[in-house]
């Protein structure tokens, strides 16, 4: 199956994750670029649950059997560049896998700002086209005694130096599910 990774990354962690996925699957990759790429504008439009217009992709999404969408969770919202991608290309999506870096943990995934809410929003929009979702919580790469330190969580970025243990296991599981 022909696969592409499409991503939006504000701080670099989702770019790292997207590149790692594309490398593991030996597939195409492309960045989602909002037409107005101002952090405050992206933040406000995400909180208001508005889609953000994005620049056209270089790749033709209709040519791909599988799309892996990678992007952040922002305060329990489906961030507007990702929403913009889905709105723009929904008719061409055959199968979509969603991967996200987030600050929420598994224990808080269904809380007000958790990634579980974003997965539900994605399912509501895409229905049967959404095959699988996986979260890659930043708390998994910080020391256990600092996993509730929100300042540290917000400053931590995924990298080769911290991508091990549980987060690596999740990654391997995600790659296996996509490759099935």
Query: What are the tens digits of pLDDT across the range 123-146?
Result: 888 899 999 999 999 999 999 899
Check whether 165 has a pLDDT greater than 50: yes
- The rounded mean pLDDT for the chain is 87
Q: pTM for the whole thing?
A: 0.87
Instruction: Report pLDDT for 52.
Output: 62
Check whether 74 has a pLDDT greater than 80: no
**Domain positions in the chain:** 3-179
Q: Residue 171: which pLDDT band, with cuts at 50, 70 and 90? A: very high
Q: How many residues does the chain have?
A: 180
Homologous superfamily, domain 3-179: Flavodoxin domain (3.40.50.360)
CA distances from 131 to 66, 67, 96, 144 (A): 10, 10, 6, 31
Instruction: Report pLDDT for 41.
Output: 45
Instruction: Report pLDDT for 39.
Output: 57
Check whether 59 has a pLDDT greater than 70: yes
Query: What are the tens digits of pLDDT across the range 1-52?
Result: 899 999 999 889 999 999 999 999 999 999 999 876 655 545 555 445 556 6
Instruction: Report pLDDT for 50.
Output: 58
């Amino acid at each position: 199956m022909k696969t592409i990774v499409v991503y939006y990354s504000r701080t670099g962690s989702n770019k790292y994750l997207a590149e790692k996925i594309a490398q593991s699957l030996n597939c195409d990759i492309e960045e989602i670029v909002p037409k107005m790429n101002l952090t405050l504008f992206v933040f406000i439009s995400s909180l208001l649950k508005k889609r953000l217009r994005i620049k056209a992709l270089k790749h033709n999404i209709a040519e791909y059997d599988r799309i892996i969408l990678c992007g952040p969770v922002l305060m329990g919202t489906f961030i507007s560049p990702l929403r913009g991608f889905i709105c723009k290309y929904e008719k061409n999506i055959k199968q979509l896998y969603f991967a996200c870096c987030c600050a929420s943990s598994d224990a808080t995934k269904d809380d007000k700002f958790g990634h579980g809410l974003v997965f539900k929003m994605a399912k509501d929009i895409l229905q049967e086209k959404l095959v699988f979702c996986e979260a890659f919580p930043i708390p998994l790469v910080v020391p256990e005694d600092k996993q509730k330190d929100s300042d540290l969580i917000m400053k931590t970025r995924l990298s080769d130096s911290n991508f091990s243990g549980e987060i690596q296991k999740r990654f391997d599981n995600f790659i296996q599910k996509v490759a099935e």
